[in-house]
Amino acid sequence: MASSPAETPELQIRPLLRRDLEVVERLMLDALETDTESNRLEVTQRVQQLRRWYGLLKGLSLFPNPLQHLLSTYVAEQDDQVRGVIQVSPFNRTRSTWRIEQIAVGQYSPGEFRQTSLMDVGSQLLRYCLQAIWEARTWLIEVDVNDNSVIGLCRKTGFQPLAQMTYWAIAPDLWQALAERQPDLPNLLPVGNADAGLLCQLDTASMPPHVRQVFDRHITDFKTGLLGSVTDGVGSWLTPVQVVSGYVFEPQRKAAIGYFRLQLCKDGSHPHEAKLTVHPAYTWLYPELFCQMAQVVRGYPEQALIVDSADYQPEREDFLQQLGAEQTHHTLMMSRSVWHKLREAKPLEGLQLTDVLQNLQPVRKPVPSRFSLESGNGNGKSDTKPPGLSKDSN
């Protein structure tokens, strides 16, 4: 009797455990499309932070709190081996939009192509997150434009392009030259929780409607809670990162028209990073804000300043090109809606015409009226008499 072929073990997806961290680090390093020293350092630091804070993050994930979802990492396991990993996090405070931070998949066997295993394991990891995280209505992912395998995986899972992002590196000699000029920013103010409404309006006005709908930001996204303030304060002591932010206030319109946030490296181990938001009607602020940021950066180690720009921000890209900034890499931001979770009562394919028009059917049979109108009268009144009376009766 011929023996049946061995069945392939079923792929199981579960939360991350401490014993998976070594394999997860190897998978993330192998999945880097641009294998540079900075990218490898970023992955290594991310895994080291998971090792250091795993016990605390695991405890925080057991009850509702602002830091509950910091350990939202899942692995795909088959035959007692980790085949893939996906890391997700909420994008906004209401958790209506979630972001896929990274997805990495290993090979089933040495002779198997990465594309095959990525389409198999990666699609199951993505679909698990889409179904398991019930709060998410929209998902975001940012992929390198040269990583065709991940882009193909996202398209297969239903993701659509949202915007193209470009990352620029401003060399130290460039921002030192910018710092020589005094910026014209008379209403530059520090950022606090009282300014959350102004910053939310600025963020809403700075992006097109389709991006605004996906991001779904509210005033709470621009506020810092007590726990967040304590975490930022402790982090500034334990990590070599200093955060400086400010915004430009327009007194006539009583609105914020520009905002910047700097993450400055105090030990020179990695480049400085800047986040910039400018109202589309005040694009003349770009040179002034960059001069202001250059003056702040001047007091820190000489490292490149990383700034991003989207394809719907042409004025920012023109200024960076004129400045001489270097384009480091390009990414594609993709999004996917999960409103399909709402199950319909009946499939559209099986609906009959009677089902579609069932609300138009009469509830009961009509009762015939005992009165009728005669169209022969010129005055529009009816000659109908009550039953039992004739026209000749007096």
Domains along the sequence of the chain with CATH: 12-158 (3.40.630.30), 166-330 (3.40.630.30)
Q: Tell which residue, 117, 119, 97, has the closest CA to residue 107.
A: 117
**Torsion angle, alpha carbons of 165, 272, 194, 316, to 10:** -40
Burial per residue of 142-165, b for 16 or more beta-carbon CB atoms within 10 angstroms, e otherwise: bbeeebebbbebbeebbbeebbeb
C-alpha distances out from residue 86 to 123, 141, 184, Å: 11, 12, 45
The label of the residue with tokens 């020179």 reads: 268
Residue pair 129/14 in contact (Cβ under 8 Å)? The answer is no
Burial per residue of 41-60, b for 16 or more beta-carbon CB atoms within 10 angstroms, e otherwise: eebeeebeebeeeeeebeeb
Does position 379 have pLDDT exceeding 60, yes or no? no
**Res 279: pLDDT:** 96
Instruction: List CB contacts of 341: < 8 A, sequence separation 6 or more.
Output: 131, 134
162 alpha carbon, distance to own chain's centre: 10
> Residue 234, exposed/middle/buried by CB under 10 A (0-12, 13-18, 19+)?
exposed
Q: Which of 2-16, 289-303, 343-357 has the highest mean pLDDT?
A: 289-303
Does position 8 have pLDDT exceeding 80, yes or no? no
**Res 195: pLDDT:** 94
Q: Which of 46-55, 117-126, 146-155, 161-170 has the highest mean pLDDT?
A: 161-170
Phi, psi dihedrals of residue 15, rounded to the nearest 5°: -65, 160
User: Lowest mean pLDDT: which of 24-28, 95-99, 158-162?
Assistant: 24-28
Q: What angle do CA 30, 136, 60 make, to 5 degrees?
A: 75
Residue pair 246/259 in contact (Cβ under 8 Å)? The answer is yes
**Res 58: pLDDT:** 78
- Identity of residue 32: L
Residue pair 185/288 in contact (Cβ under 8 Å)? The answer is yes
Does position 394 have pLDDT exceeding 50, yes or no? no
Higher pLDDT, 100 or 383: 100
What percentage of residues in the chain have a pLDDT greater than 90? 50
Higher pLDDT, 44 or 372: 44
3-state SS assignment for residue 146: coil
Average model confidence (pLDDT) for the chain?
Answer: 81
Phi, psi dihedrals of residue 23, rounded to the nearest 5°: -70, -40
- At 390, is the pLDDT very low, low, confident or very high (cuts 50, 70, 90)? very low
Does position 332 have pLDDT exceeding 60, yes or no? yes
**Res 392: pLDDT:** 46
List helix spans (H) across 298-341: 314-323
**Res 53: pLDDT:** 73
Does position 177 have pLDDT exceeding 70, yes or no? yes
Does position 350 have pLDDT exceeding 80, yes or no? no
**Res 67: pLDDT:** 72
Residue pair 50/20 in contact (Cβ under 8 Å)? The answer is no
- Identity of residue 178: L
3-state SS assignment for residue 61: coil
Does position 371 have pLDDT exceeding 60, yes or no? no
User: Lowest mean pLDDT: which of 10-14, 136-140, 333-337?
Assistant: 10-14
User: Lowest mean pLDDT: which of 12-26, 225-239, 289-303?
Assistant: 225-239
- DSSP bridge pairs for 331: 144, 165
Does position 345 have pLDDT exceeding 80, yes or no? no
Tokens of residue 15, six digits: 């939360």
**Res 368: pLDDT:** 63
Higher pLDDT, 386 or 47: 47
**Res 107: pLDDT:** 63
Q: Which of 33-42, 112-121, 248-257 has the highest mean pLDDT?
A: 248-257
**How far is 140 from 90, CA to CA, in rounded Å?**
10
Does position 45 have pLDDT exceeding 80, yes or no? no
Does position 351 have pLDDT exceeding 50, yes or no? no
- At 118, is the pLDDT very low, low, confident or very high (cuts 50, 70, 90)? confident
Phi, psi dihedrals of residue 354, rounded to the nearest 5°: -70, -30
